[in-house]
Amino acid sequence: MAKLSACVIIPAYEEEERVGSVVRAALASGLFAEVLVVDDGSLDETSAAAAAAGARVLRLEHNGGKANAVRSGVMATTAPVLCFLDADLLDVSAEHLASLVEPVTCGAVAAQLAVFTGGRKATSLAQKVAPMISGQRCLHRDLLVGLDDWGRGFGIETALNLHLRKQGIEPQIVEWDGAAQVMKEEKRGLRHGLSARMKMYRDIARTWVKIKRRDIKEAWDESTGGAEAGDSAAKD
């Protein structure tokens, strides 16, 4: 099977100091037909930094949250394989990226996600506890067909997990030894960073509850509708 072309989508909000290194790592890997940064309404020079590093930049006028930025990026490319990377990664190598992307572009697996190990203790521990909320992912585009709820803000990963699970797919997990990312508390200071972290957890929880409620309602409607149809047929 021939390799499928891949686009990497990097959602970014006020990451002028960090996004360039992620773009350069993606370009240097040679894995991507396109490197696309979605600037989610940043007030700093994120767009300029991404463009200077060699990315195509899609700038959104207003800050709509990570889920909206990822969705906007997906709509802006026709690549059959999509990779998502956070804009604040540290020490990501071509080997890391290849372990995430190549099994998908070669058709060996449908979806993968990467977790940090052996790097900074805080980020490695966080991903060991909750690997499924990792933002580093790669999957076949056609798996997104029918995804009508992309989640709220940082709930995008949860929305993707639930959507894939409905198709019977669990992403394979690959470990990125030595890689890490900058924590919110480092970028924004302790108080604002903790506030941003709590918002992230709220987005995740609200996305999970909303989608689960919808799935339960759909299942109930389907089951009761089927029963009513059966009763009607029996009466006829």
Q: What is the pLDDT of residues 91-115, one digit of tens each?
A: 999 999 999 999 999 999 999 999 9
Q: At which residue do the structure tokens 């339960």 appear?
A: 216
Percentage with pLDDT > 70 across the chain: 81
Provide the 3-class DSSP secondary structure of residue 85: coil
pTM, two decimal places: 0.82
- 138 — pLDDT class (breaks 50, 70, 90): very high
Angle at 17 between CA 20 and CA 174, to 5 degrees: 60
Q: How far apart are CA 129 and CA 123, in angstroms?
A: 10
Question: Residue 45 has what DSSP assignment?
Answer: S
Identity (one letter) of the amino acid at 209?
V
The pLDDT assigned to 23 comes to 98
For residue 46, give the nearest of 71, 29, 80, 69 by alpha carbon.
69
Please state which architecture CATH assigns to domain 6-182: Alpha-Beta Complex (3.90)
CB atoms near residue 220 (< 10 Å): 10
Write phi, then psi, for 64 (nearest 5 degrees): -105, 0
pLDDT above 60: residue 226:
no
Q: Which long-range contacts (CB under 8 A, 24 or more apart) does 186-194 make?
A: 187/88
The pLDDT assigned to 94 comes to 97
Q: At which residue do the structure tokens 């999970």 appear?
A: 208
Q: Residues 200, 206: contact at Cβ < 8 Å?
A: no
- 223 — pLDDT class (breaks 50, 70, 90): confident
The pLDDT assigned to 181 comes to 84
CA dihedral of 57, 58, 59, 65, whole degrees rounded to 10: -120
pLDDT above 50: residue 233:
no
The whole-chain average pLDDT of the chain stands at: 86
pLDDT above 50: residue 234:
no
Write phi, then psi, for 58 (nearest 5 degrees): -110, 115
Spatial neighbors of 52 by CB under 8 A, at least 6 apart, are 20
